[in-house]
Amino acid sequence: MMIDNLQEFTEGLPPLLQWLGVMAAAAIPFVESYFGAVIGVLAGLNPVVAIIAAVVGNVISMVLVVLSADRLRARRGVTPVEQLSPRKQRLRRMLDRFGVPGVSLLGQTVLPSQITSGALVAFGASTRGVIGWQVVSIILWGVAFGTLAVLGVDLVQNS
């Protein structure tokens, strides 16, 4: 079975390479902590290690984007809403309606955390607040999908 082959291959790699692979995958927008955790679990890593590696990779890339957006905002100022694309206008309306916590927790259903967090900072949201809430969101999504992956692998292996 494919899962068994992937797990056997992964088990043959040094643990550090296993973790770094999951971290690198989770740093990619649209893969994030949720699919990174699934990749790690399917690859045969201990689920706790897979989730932590995915969260760390996603958080590192998100923080880099937030800090870059903060520097750009400091140089350019906040962009008026009228000059935003329709997608960014929608995100701005979500920020006005739900605040940083709501957009951080729900935004990953629409856009990757890197894009969402960068836009929030560009809109004038607190850099520290965006990072804090995005970390909470990344952890929650990673744990949820990692847990679902464990349950799915157990179900497949016990069938």
Of residues 7 and 85, the one with the higher pLDDT is 85
Q: Where are the domains positioned within the chain?
A: 2-157
1 has a pLDDT exceeding 60: no
80 has a pLDDT exceeding 70: no
Q: Burial, 9: exposed, middle or buried (Cβ in 10 Å; 0-12, 13-18, 19+)?
A: exposed
Please report, for residues 57, 74, 102, the alpha-carbon distance to residue 90 in angstroms, rounded to integers and kept in the order given: 27, 23, 14
For tokens 């906040």, the residue is 78
For residue range 87-113, what is the model confidence (pLDDT) as tens digits? 778 888 888 999 999 999 988 888 899
Give dist(CA 105, CA 91) in Å, integer: 13
For residue range 107-129, what is the model confidence (pLDDT) as tens digits? 888 889 999 999 899 888 999 99
The sign of the CA dihedral 10, 15, 17, 22 is positive
Q: Considering only 22-26, 46-50, 73-77, which range has the smallest mean pLDDT?
A: 73-77
Both tokens of residue 24?
Answer: 């690198």
% of the chain residues with pLDDT over 90 = 52
2 has a pLDDT exceeding 60: no
